[in-house]
Each structure stands twice: as C-alpha cells, then as structure tokens.
A = this chain, B = another copy of it.
C-alpha cells in the first residue's frame, strides 16, 4: 500500500487519539502486531494478540483507551476508544491520498452520441456505445465496454475490463470490479418435441441502484422483458451468478461463488455466505441469513437463518449436518438392536 510518511503525532491527530512514547516516530505503513516491521503501525484489536505488544517490531501500536501496559513497551502507542474503527478510518484516510485518474484517453472509443459528465476518467481502450450517459466524476478504467444506451450515474468506479450490455442502468457511488458482466442474456430456452432448444430472446435490462459493489467476474443477467434489479447498498462478492429477473433487496450482502437462479426475490439486509445456491422463483424475506454452501429450494421467511442442502433452519441444520458423521454408527447400533430384539 501507499508508502506515505506520517509521524505518530500526525496519525493520532487524524484519528483523534492520544499518544505515549516518541510522537515524532515516522510511520510509513500499516502492519500486523505479530509480524511488525520498523516504521510500521500495528493495531491491537483482538485481546489475544496483547502479548505481542511487548515484543513487536512495529514502531507504534494503536490500543484501546483502557489498555494498561504490564511492562515497558518497545513502541509508541496511540490510545483510541475503538481501535477497529480507527483502522478503518485510517484506511479511508489513506484511500483519499491515492492518486486519482482523470481525463479521457485518446485511445478510448466514444460514440458521438454519448454524454460524458464533468470530472470523468475514461481509460485506454474503453468502448462507449451510442447514447451512453456517464455521470460526473465516474471513473471508467481501461478496456471497459459500455453498450448502447447504458446509463451510468455519478461517482462510480468501473475497474478494468467491466462489460455492460446495452440498455443497462447503473446508479451512483457504485463500484464494479474487473471482469464483471452486467446484462448478458438470461438463460431462457424452450425445448421442442425433439429436445432441441429454441432461444427465448432476453430483451430486458439490469438496473443497479446506488452504493452497490459488484465483485470481479460476477455476472448479472438481464431480465427477459423487464429488469433484473439490484437495490441500493447491495454488496456482491466475486464470481457470483445472478440470473434473469432477480431482485436483490437493499443492503443485502452476497459472498463469493453464489448461484442465484432466475426470478429469485431476495429481501433487504440479507446475508448469503459463500457458494450458496438458490432455486429459481424462490422468495427470501428480509434479514435472511444463509450459511455457506446452503441450497435453498423453498421460500425463506423474514428473519430466518438457514443452512444445509436442502436448507434447514440454522439451529436444526447445524445439528443435522453435524450428526451426519454418526450415521454409520447408527446403522450398526440399529442392527444390534434388531438382533437382540429378535432373540
């Protein structure tokens, strides 16, 4: 990460903390308390790492306000009410210092009918189709493709190689990672009497609302004739499939490698762990949580937690999955019971 240099005093001031030890110690990176290095700043967030503070090579450590040193410390410290929030705040501060890309590369291919806002960055080799609109301060990194009529709001970041099919709409403050594909055809076919599949044209689009993050190589298919909708604040990790006609509710989080089949409707504030699969046309209420590798084939009610394939309620599911190992033993014991009973 950035190799910018700050003193311990400067960092304490950025984070609103108090210092002990040499306030002029130079910090040039964030590091781990147990793998520290000189000039590094570590964070003591998890109590179990406390012993490391007495031997750390890090030049400074951020600790909780209530921290009491039991021995002399080899490093400066910064006291904060909440070291974890301090770490995030510091990362956010560093983030603002990252060099910003600006301007439109000469090698970008931009249709004359496209409307480009102010402060926009369009990188090398980007292709912008007819009637595309790109809002102010959006950053389109190299080799992205925006099909005809795509509308992109303000303050978005599209990393290198994002592909958006025609007619899709992206809100503002979204981040789309490299290789994400938005608006590819839904998987819709109609078998004839000889099992030859005729394609059902997929003429809808994808609408992504504000504050959404889409992971690398994740795919969100267009709707058959209306819109696949990703609501405000949704976060989707890498390599996840969202099929046609789905709707993902506000502030729902989907981890990597999930497969959401067609016309699934997911509520608000849900959390899907990795590799979850959801059958087509299933409905999940708000605040549903699904454990990793869960296979959801039936609707899940508001607030329910599920795990297993097929999905069970979390409590029941954890017990059931945890007892699969005992089946061979059960078989043996039932054999024995039957033998004895026959006597």
Binding site for B on A (CB under 8 A): 1-2, 29-32, 35, 85, 88, 91-92, 94-95, 98-99, 105, 107, 109, 123-125, 127, 141-143, 145, 147-148, 159-161, 163, 165, 167, 175, 177-179, 181, 184-185, 187, 189-190, 195-205, 211, 213, 215-217, 219, 221, 224-226, 233, 235, 237-241, 243, 251, 253, 255-257, 259, 261, 268-269, 274-275, 277, 279, 292-293, 295, 297, 308-310, 312, 316-317, 319-328, 330-331, 333-334, 337-338, 340-341
Q: How far is the CB of A149 from chain B (nearest CB, A)?
A: 10
The one of B85, B109, B317, B324 in contact with A105, judged by C-beta atoms closer than 8 angstroms, is: B109
> How many Å from the CB of A281 to the closest CB on chain B?
11
With contacts A255-B261, A341-B337 taken as known, whether A163 is within 8 angstroms of B165 at the C-beta atoms is no
CB pair A274–B277 under 8 Å, yes or no, is yes
Contacts of A197 in B (CB 8 A): 233, 235, 251, 253
For the complex, what is the distance from the CA of A177 to the CA of B180, rounded to whole Å?
A: 12
- Residues on B with C-beta less than 8 A from A340 are 341
Given A197-B253, A295-B292, CB of A239 within 8 Å of CB of B219: yes
Closest to A31 in B: B226
Given contacts A181-B179, A196-B251, A324-B324, contact A235 B189 (CB under 8 A): yes
Pairwise interchain contact B181-A178, C-beta atoms closer than 8 A = yes
Residues in B whose Cβ lies below 8 Å from that of A95 = 201, 203
Q: Are A184 and B203 in contact (CB under 8 A)?
A: no
> Which residues of B lie under 8 Å from residue A334 when comparing CB positions?
330, 333-334, 337
Q: Give 22 pairs: A residue, B residue, CB < 8 Å, sorted on A.
A: A1-B167, A1-B204, A91-B202, A125-B125, A143-B143, A161-B163, A163-B178, A177-B184, A181-B238, A184-B216, A199-B213, A215-B219, A216-B221, A219-B238, A241-B256, A293-B293, A312-B324, A320-B324, A320-B328, A327-B330, A330-B334, A337-B338
Chain A interface helix/strand/loop/mixed? loop
Q: Please, which residues of chain B bring their CB within 8 A of the CB of A328?
A: 316, 319-320, 323
Contact partners of A203 in chain B: CB under 8 A: 1-2, 30, 91, 94-95, 98
- Taking the closest CB of chain B, its distance from the CB of A109, in whole angstroms, is 4
Min distance, Cβ A164 to any Cβ of chain B, angstroms = 9
In Å, the complex CA distance between A331 and B328 comes to: 11
Given A187-B215, A293-B293, A310-B321, output 5 extra A-B contacts at Cβ < 8 Å: A1-B204, A88-B198, A187-B235, A221-B238, A333-B338
Chain B residues with Cβ below 8 Å from A195 are: 251, 268-269
With the chains together, A327 CA to B330 CA distance in Å? 9
Chain B minimum-CB-distance residue to A292: B277
Nearest-neighbor residue (CB-CB) of A97 within chain B? B203
In the complex, which of the residues B2, B215, B327 contacts A320, with contact meaning CB atoms closer than 8 Å? B327
Docked CA distance A341–B339 (Å):
11
Assembled-state Cα–Cα distance A76/B161 (Å): 46
Q: What residues on B are CB-neighbors of A261 within 8 Å?
A: 255-256, 274
